[in-house]
């Protein structure tokens, strides 16, 4: 006979928060186990004045928050739960949820012990009660790693290698968030499909992350022309996006890349693939544009 120790709790596997440098904006990333509960939260939490947007990516829900505290006028069925506060400190980010009924269970019980939570304070929840919880998370920054040219005409695949390296370097200080394949203009010297990769991390140890990633990339790449670039920051610049679109739309030389000025960008491995590696970065999680083939051919 099956028994449950917590029949009315579904635990979120992990929650992380990335803050922009000024601390005014936060992206809250919730890894979920129950998609129905996550979609319910998405529907209602976006009604909070401090939630500026929300999107579902794979098994994560991402909330764009502005810092501040608000009083939420909860109402059953119409607005039963929300995020009522977001506070950014030097090394931590505090998020406060509140909900009524099952929304209170989600706010108080389901998130409080997720991986990534440093500590929490929560009210008793369940039945028709209104309950709230505050969780404290490490303040992390976004690191995007672009890679191109790791395979040969005989063997290898960049998209699989980059994913496996990202999984291998992930730890409590560096959480692997996303993987995006970026279709580039099919230049004559491509291996076959001419794609580059960008993987996204939330981290508070960017130097250690980049060093571990580079070590494994150098160890397992099959090409002598591998490019690896790193962007550290909340959102890549418009200049970097414009460069990425040029590489998707036609063949460019290294001089075009050299003209890009973005303080968050640095080149780690400077093989010929660096042109595509940098171009991939601004398309992270923008899957439709990333995969668009701009050559005019299907």
Q: What is the pLDDT of residues 130-188, one digit of tens each?
A: 888 999 999 999 999 999 999 876 777 899 999 999 999 999 999 999 999 999 988 66
Same domain flag for 179 and 127? no
Question: d(Cα 159, Cα 157) in Å, to the nearest integer?
Answer: 6
Element (H, E) at 232: strand 227-232
pLDDT of residue 1: 81
- The neighbour count for residue 170, using CB atoms within 10 Å, is 16
4 pLDDT exceeds 90?
Answer: no
298 pLDDT exceeds 50?
Answer: no
Question: d(Cα 136, Cα 18) in Å, to the nearest integer?
Answer: 13
Structural contact between residues 183 and 293, judged by C-beta atoms closer than 8 angstroms: yes
Question: d(Cα 22, Cα 236) in Å, to the nearest integer?
Answer: 15
Q: Is residue 7 part of a domain?
A: no
What are 59-93's pLDDT values in tens digits? Answer: 999 999 999 999 999 998 899 999 999 999 999 99
- DSSP characters for 133-202? EEEEEEEEEEEEEEEE----SSS--HHHHHHHHHHHH-BTTEEEEEEEEEEPP--TT-SSS-EEEEEEEE
pLDDT of residue 127: 73
Same domain flag for 114 and 188? no
**Chosen domain end from 94, 109, 139:** 139
Length in residues, the chain: 298
pLDDT of residue 195: 92
Residue range 116-125: mean pLDDT, rounded: 88
Q: Is residue 296 part of a domain?
A: no
pLDDT of residue 152: 73
Question: d(Cα 66, Cα 52) in Å, to the nearest integer?
Answer: 7
Same domain flag for 79 and 194? no
pLDDT of residue 265: 97
Question: d(Cα 219, Cα 65) in Å, to the nearest integer?
Answer: 39
189 pLDDT exceeds 80?
Answer: no
Same domain flag for 38 and 167? no
pLDDT of residue 192: 57
Q: Which of the 8 DSSP states describes residue 49?
A: T
Q: What is the DSSP pairing of strand 92-100 with strand 60-66?
A: unpaired
- Number of domain units in the chain: 2
Q: Which of the 8 DSSP states describes residue 106?
A: I
Question: d(Cα 177, Cα 167) in Å, to the nearest integer?
Answer: 10
Question: d(Cα 35, Cα 153) in Å, to the nearest integer?
Answer: 40
Residues of the chain with pLDDT > 90, as a percent, come to 76
What are 192-244's pLDDT values in tens digits? Answer: 568 999 999 999 999 999 999 999 999 999 999 999 999 999 999 999 999 99
Same domain flag for 284 and 153? yes
CA count, 13 A, side-chain hemisphere, 52:
11
pLDDT of residue 2: 81
Range of the structural domain that residue 128 is part of: 14-139
253 pLDDT exceeds 60?
Answer: yes
Q: Is residue 73 part of a domain?
A: yes
Same domain flag for 87 and 206? no
Question: d(Cα 231, Cα 146) in Å, to the nearest integer?
Answer: 8
Same domain flag for 181 and 211? yes
Same domain flag for 104 and 153? no
Q: Mean pLDDT for the chain?
A: 92
pLDDT of residue 294: 86
Residue range 265-274: mean pLDDT, rounded: 95
Q: Indicate if the alpha-carbon torsion angle 48, 18, 289, 261 is positive or negative.
A: positive
């Amino acid at each position: 006979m099956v028994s449950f120790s917590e029949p009315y709790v579904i635990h979120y596997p992990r929650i992380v928060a990335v803050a922009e440098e000024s601390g005014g904006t936060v992206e809250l990333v919730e890894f979920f186990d129950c998609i129905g509960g996550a979609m319910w939260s998405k529907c209602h939490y976006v009604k909070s004045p401090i939630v500026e947007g929300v999107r579902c990516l794979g098994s994560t829900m991402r909330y764009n928050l502005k810092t501040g505290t608000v009083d939420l006028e909860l109402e059953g069925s119409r607005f039963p739960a929300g995020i009522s506060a977001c506070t950014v400190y030097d090394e931590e980010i505090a998020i406060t949820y509140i909900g009524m009924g099952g929304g209170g269970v989600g706010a108080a019980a389901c998130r409080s012990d997720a991986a990534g939570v440093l500590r929490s304070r929560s009210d008793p929840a369940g039945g028709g009660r209104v309950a709230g919880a505050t969780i404290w998370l490490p303040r992390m920054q976004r690191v995007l790693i672009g890679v191109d040219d790791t395979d040969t005409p005989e063997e290898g695949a960049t998209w699989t290698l980059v994913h496996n390296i990202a999984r291998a370097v992930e730890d409590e200080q560096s959480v692997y968030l996303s993987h995006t394949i970026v279709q580039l203009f099919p230049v004559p010297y491509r291996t076959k499909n001419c794609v580059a990769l960008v993987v996204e991390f939330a981290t508070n140890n960017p130097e250690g992350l980049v060093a571990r990633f580079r070590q494994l990339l150098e160890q397992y790449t099959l090409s002598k022309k591998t490019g690896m670039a790193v962007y550290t920051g909340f959102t890549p610049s418009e200049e970097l996006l414009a460069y990425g679109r040029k590489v998707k739309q036609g063949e460019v030389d290294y001089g075009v890349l050299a003209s890009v000025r973005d303080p968050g960008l640095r080149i780690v491995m400077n093989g010929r693939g660096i042109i595509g590696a940098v171009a991939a970065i601004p398309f992270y999680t923008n899957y439709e544009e990333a995969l668009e083939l701009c050559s005019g051919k299907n």
